[in-house]
Amino acid sequence: MLDQFIYKPIHSLPESGEIASKSPSNIALVKYWGKKPIQIPTNPSISFTLTNCFTKTNISFKKSENFSFNFTVKGVEKPSFVPKIESFLERIKEWCPYIFSYQIDIDTENTFPHSSGIASSASGFSALALAVLELEQKITGISNENKYLKASFLSRLGSGSASRSLYGPAAIWGQHKNIPSTSDQYAIAYHDLHENFKNYQDTILLIDKGTKKVSSTVGHELMHNHPFSKQRFSQASSNLESMINVLKSGDLHKFISITESEALTLHAMMMTSSPYFILMKQGTLAAIEKIWSFRSESKVPLSFTLDAGANVHLLYPLAYKQQVLDFIDNELIVFCQNQHYISDEVGSGANIISASYA
Ligand code: DP6
């Protein structure tokens, strides 16, 4: 099945070059929580791809006898990121051997603050993978479709949720028996969105910008001996099917109930792991209660979701933007650290900004 990802050069390697790519973050509607080696999800997931929260990555490379790479964020060396990149390059080595013929400088930049509590791994790994695949396309002439597919496959090896960032407006990762073309190895694009979900908004309340006490990696691991894992994995599969029907039919009521249930179930899994942990903060719960009252009084179809952190994502149709922004300014901003929130919306996925070779 993975034969399609085998590297088959037809041209010689460029001597040097520079490639810039851009990839957004994504927000899962049905959550990935639990994995097997190497980066195989224990249940399928679906996400909306975002627009404004993205990573821009620039790789410049020069042929060299000895492989080496240098990693910077806006030109500043970040040694703490190096081990992650190193193990990513090690994992993709068998699929992309050509990168080891170069000396590579990788520079990245996020539009969202590193300390915002928004994971940069999804946008970061997908931007890097797409840049690598751009070089591969130069050498192998693979189609654009396969370029994205392999970039999603590589991104997954860096961070599971990164596999979904390549495609907009939504992406599905993980095999589902009733959804054709789904795979544990890579994500696929999901396009069939009802008018209600076009330009859907995601306003992210930055409740807590601190570093998480328990990383996603540890959280995923705790699903192994989790008392509710079996039920959770089958619930996620059935929620994915329901969510796809909702995205097609435009049923906002059902959308609200699935997304909120998924968010709370994700955190319920954390609270019932051994050891247990809580990533929500007081502001998270207070914001959720406000959202529920606002929805019942105003009838605005606003729902929330959560990632593996305290921040609250507000999801709603574009038509209600002003009403929701007023609600945030009046009632929710008090729960945001330094009054910070980020306005985002559904977007179209990753792309190459420029590529040049010598
Ligand atoms: C709660 O993709 O960050 O955001 O594969 O270990 O890098 P790794 O985990 P990661 O986990 C994301 C978990 C989540 C849900 C989701 O995005 O589906």
What does the pLDDT look like over 49-58, one tens digit per residue?
999 999 999 9
CA 27 to ligand 1 center in whole angstroms: 10
Q: What is the pLDDT of residue 113?
A: 76
* Long-range contact pairs involving 234-238 (C-beta distance under 8 Å, separation at least 24): 234/43, 235/265, 236/30, 236/31, 236/33, 236/43, 236/44, 236/45, 236/262, 237/43, 237/44, 237/176
| Pocket of ligand 1 contains residue 102 by CB under 6 Å | no
For ligand 1, pick from 126, 185, 220 the residue to mutate: most ligand atoms within 8 Å of CB.
Answer: 220
For ligand 1, pick from 154, 216, 223, 280 the residue to mutate: most ligand atoms within 8 Å of CB.
Answer: 216
Q: Say yes or no to pLDDT of 212 above 80.
A: no
Tell me the domains of the chain and their CATH numbers.
3-192+348-357 (3.30.230.10), 197-345 (3.30.70.890)
C-alpha–C-alpha distance, residues 59 and 293, integer Å = 48
pLDDT in tens, 242-274: 999 999 999 999 999 999 999 999 999 999 999
The reported pTM is 0.97
pLDDT in tens, 135-161: 999 999 999 999 999 999 999 999 999
C-alpha–C-alpha distance, residues 136 and 346, integer Å = 29
| Pocket of ligand 1 contains residue 161 by CB under 6 Å | yes
CA 123 to ligand 1 center in whole angstroms: 12
| Pocket of ligand 1 contains residue 41 by CB under 6 Å | no
pLDDT in tens, 67-112: 999 999 999 999 999 999 999 999 999 999 999 999 999 999 999 8
Q: What is the pLDDT of residue 213?
A: 77
